[in-house]
């Protein structure tokens, strides 16, 4: 690997003679393509499973896969066409979301080359699917969540078989959770009830700390049932499951109308009715219900807060203080918790400084094509790379590992001019511990695997953070790849 990569510096250039001014432009010499600014949250709405069958119209826009093809700057729900257009427009207007639709005739995949492959998204929305997912699709969905994706499942009442193929959303989503080939034992900690609840305004629980009930889109007080169903919680299967909104007269493990959970490194939300997300503006001839704007409920805030949480905002809202992959109090499902652990999905799951996650040819990955490259500019620079994760309380073993390569142009054999700190932080950003500090003095050819015991953080929501700090003269590159947090 190269010993000097000072040409990787960010360059600010003025070419006045050509009328061209590059101010603060981020240029990485040796990269295979120019760095692109990453949108904060990428959401895929499914329309490949009869979401518009019969009287349904569960799409954000008729322009698919890209709703911006219908209107590139939507300001109202009617700028896009679909019963979910209010949802889509509200997210689009924040400037923090990139929205796409999986069109009819396509399949859900994970790890493929399609632009709509789940590896290119942070959240998948399943708005009342009406055809069964294939075996390959169910495996793709489960692995997407396990590796850090967010999954929003929206059902309807039992018997709402809109395309008359013998399967309604209750059966389809229960099949996903019990017949997927990844984890068939209620991996999210709940099952959907076979009910048709005609009407009601179910109330939210009292929890001022929950990010879904108290998110940036407003406070949630209650929701709406207009022919819907509920779920039965099964905390013995996953103690992270948590009911947020309950049918009147119900609490605890029964009658949950809206709930959240976690699985692996990912997050899950479930809603028992499609009427709350219906904005009444679907295709002509459909009988629609404007639940989105129902003054008796806070459906819009609930949908939007949940979307933000699933995409990575807020703290983990699993039961008992959170938990991943069956985590939480007293249980542990062995597995690897970090999402996008080898960086092959690019700028997903991790929070990173610009250009850190890259496939630039000037350095080499430990495996695959992508890696995380901190510093290497030859100027006073700080790069960061971090990911939040819940360490299940029942796990007695939690081992963080990663492969690290360091090369440098520094000549000193005694002074650490450039450093990489590996730290653990709590949900408030307070440093709980520094696992290691590496420097230009540790430079060597090839990668070395580094490992640390994190079992002392069991039962906590923590953030793993790499911070590279470089001096003002010679470059040092800290290259990280193939991370893992294995618990058992």
- Whether residue 31 is predicted with pLDDT greater than 50 in this model: the reply is no
Decide if 175 is inside a domain: yes
How many domains does the chain divide into? 2
d(Cα 239, Cα 143) in Å, to the nearest integer? 20
270 shares its domain with 379: no
Task: Judge if 82 and 206 occupy the same domain.
Answer: yes
Question: pLDDT tens digit string along 215-252?
Answer: 989 999 999 999 999 999 999 999 999 999 999 999 99
Least confident range from 182-196, 359-373, 428-442: namely 428-442
Domain CATH for 409: 2.60.120.260
Give per-residue pLDDT as tens, 66-82.
999 999 999 999 999 99
pLDDT tens digits, one per residue of 231-241:
999 999 999 99
Instruction: Mark whether 175 and 287 lie in a shared domain.
Output: yes
- Other CB atoms within a 10 A radius of the CB of residue 154 amount to 25
Flag whether pLDDT at 156 surpasses 90. yes
Domain-ending residue, one of 278, 311, 344: 311
320 pLDDT above the threshold of 90: no
Average the pLDDT over 8-22 and give the result: 31
Do 212 and 343 lie in one domain? The reply is no
Which residues constitute the domain of residue 298?
Answer: 41-311
Does residue 316 or residue 377 have the better pLDDT? 377
421's enclosing H/E stretch is strand 419-425
> pLDDT value at position 315?
53
In this predicted structure, which of 32-36, 57-61, 253-257, 285-289 has the lowest mean pLDDT?
A: 32-36
Does a structural domain hold residue 388? Answer: yes
Tell me, yes or no, whether 147 lies in a domain.
Answer: yes
Burial bucket for residue 467 (CB in 10 Å: 0-12, 13-18, 19+)? buried
- Condensed to tens digits (0 to 9), the pLDDT of residues 326-350 reads 333 346 778 899 999 999 988 888 9
Residue 366 CB partners (closer than 8 Å, separation 6+):
403, 405, 447, 481, 482
More confident residue, 458 or 327: 458
Same domain flag for 278 and 415:
no
Which pTM does this prediction carry?
Answer: 0.61
Q: Are 303 and 343 in the same domain?
A: no
Indicate whether 35 pLDDT > 90: no
User: Are 293 and 256 contained in the same domain?
Assistant: yes
Asked if the structure places residue 399 within a domain, the reply is yes
Q: Is residue 36 part of a domain?
A: no
* Domain identity same for 198 and 274: yes
């Amino acid at each position: 690997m190269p010993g000097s990569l000072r040409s990787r510096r960010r360059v600010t250039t003025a070419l006045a003679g050509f009328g061209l001014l590059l101010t603060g432009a981020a240029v990485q010499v040796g990269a295979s393509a120019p760095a692109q600014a990453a949108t904060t949250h990428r959401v895929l709405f499914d329309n490949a499973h009869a979401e518009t069958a019969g009287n349904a119209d569960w799409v954000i826009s008729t322009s698919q896969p890209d709703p911006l093809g219908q209107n590139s700057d939507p300001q109202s729900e009617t700028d896009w066409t679909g019963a979910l257009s209010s949802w889509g427009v509200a997210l689009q207007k924040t400037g923090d979301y990139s929205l796409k639709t999986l069109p009819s005739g396509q399949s859900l995949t994970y790890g493929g080359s399609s632009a709509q492959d789940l590896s290119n998204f942070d959240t998948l929305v399943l708005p009342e699917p009406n055809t069964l997912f294939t075996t390959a699709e169910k495996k793709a969905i489960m692995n997407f969540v396990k590796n850090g994706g967010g999954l929003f499942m929206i059902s309807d009442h039992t018997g709402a078989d809109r395309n008359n193929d013998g399967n309604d959303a209750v059966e389809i989503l229960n099949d996903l959770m019990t017949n997927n080939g990844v984890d068939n034992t209620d991996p999210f900690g709940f099952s959907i009830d076979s009910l048709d609840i005609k009407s009601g305004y179910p109330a939210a629980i009292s929890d001022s700390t929950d990010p879904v009930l108290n998110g940036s889109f407003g406070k949630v007080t209650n929701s709406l049932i207009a022919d819907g169903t509920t779920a039965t919680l099964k905390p013995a299967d996953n103690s992270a499951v948590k009911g947020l909104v309950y049918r009147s007269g119900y609490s605890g493990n029964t009658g949950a109308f809206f709930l959240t959970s976690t699985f692996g490194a990912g997050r899950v939300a479930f809603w028992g009715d499609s009427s709350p997300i219906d904005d009444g503006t679907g295709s002509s001839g459909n009988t629609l219900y404007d639940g989105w704007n129902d003054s008796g409920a806070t459906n819009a805030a609930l949908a939007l807060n949940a979307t933000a949480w699933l995409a990575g905002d807020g703290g983990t809202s699993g039961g008992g203080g959170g938990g991943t992959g069956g985590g939480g109090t007293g249980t542990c499902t062995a597995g690897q918790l970090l999402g996008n652990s080898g960086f092959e999905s690019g700028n997903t799951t991790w929070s990173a400084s610009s250009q850190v996650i890259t496939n630039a040819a000037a350095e080499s990955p430990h495996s695959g094509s992508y890696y995380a490259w901190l510093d290497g500019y030859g100027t006073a620079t700080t790069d960061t790379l971090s990911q939040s994760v819940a360490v299940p309380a029942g796990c007695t073993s939690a081992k963080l590992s990663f492969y690290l390569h360091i090369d440098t142009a520094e000549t000193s054999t005694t002074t650490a001019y450039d450093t990489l700190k590996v730290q653990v932080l709590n949900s408030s950003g307070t440093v709980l511990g520094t696992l290691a500090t590496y420097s230009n003095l540790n430079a060597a050819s090839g990668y070395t695997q580094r490992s640390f015991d994190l079992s002392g953080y069991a039962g906590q929501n923590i953030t793993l953070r790499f911070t590279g700090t470089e001096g003002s003269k010679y470059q040092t590159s800290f290259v990280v790849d193939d991370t893992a947090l294995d618990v058992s």
